[in-house]
Amino acid sequence: MEWNFKDGIPIYTQIIDEMTMRIASSAYEPGDKLPSVRELALDAGVNPNTMQRALAELERRGLVYSERTSGRFVTKEEAVLKDLHEELAKKYFEELTEKLRKIGMDDNAIKSSVNKWMKEIK
C-alpha cells in the first residue's frame, strides 16, 4: 500500500490517519494480523520508533490490540468499528458543510443538495 506524507503535519499523526482509514475501509479486516512494526516502517519509509508510536496510539484508541507473542491485530469489536465509521462520517460532513457554507449555501440548500445527490447515486 502506498504512503503519501504531507509537509507540516507530524508523520506519526499521518500514519495514525492512514491506518485508521485502512481499518475503516476494511483494507485491514477485523481480526487481521498487522505486519510487524519493522515491516510497516520499511513500507512507509519511516523510523520504526515513529511507527511504534502511531501503533501505540491506535491501540490506545481500541482500533488494534496486541497479543503478547503474536503481534498486533485489528479489533473485532463491532461497537468500536461502528463508532469509527460514525466519527469519520461526522468529520467529513463537517468539512463538507463548512465548504458549502463558504460558497453561500444555507442549511436547507445543503440538505436539499445532499438528498438530491443521494437519490441520483442509487
CATH number at residue 51: 1.10.10.10
Is residue 56 in some structural domain? yes
Q: How many domains does the chain have?
A: 2
On the 0-12 / 13-18 / 19+ scale of CB atoms within 10 A, 61 is: middle
15/62 same-domain check:
yes
Which secondary-structure segment (H or E) carries 65? strand 64-67
Is residue 4 in some structural domain? no
> What string of pLDDT tens digits covers the 122 residues of the chain?
789 999 999 999 999 999 999 999 999 999 999 999 999 999 999 999 999 999 999 999 999 999 988 999 999 999 999 999 999 999 999 999 999 999 999 999 999 999 999 999 97
What residue numbers bound the domain in which 69 lies? 11-76
DSSP letter (8 states) at residue 2: -
Q: How many CB atoms lie within 10 A of CB 53?
A: 18
66/25 same-domain check:
yes
Please name the residue that has the C-alpha cell 479489533.
Answer: 75
Is residue 5 in some structural domain? no
For residues 87 and 103, give the distance between their C-alpha atoms in angstroms, rounded to a whole number: 25
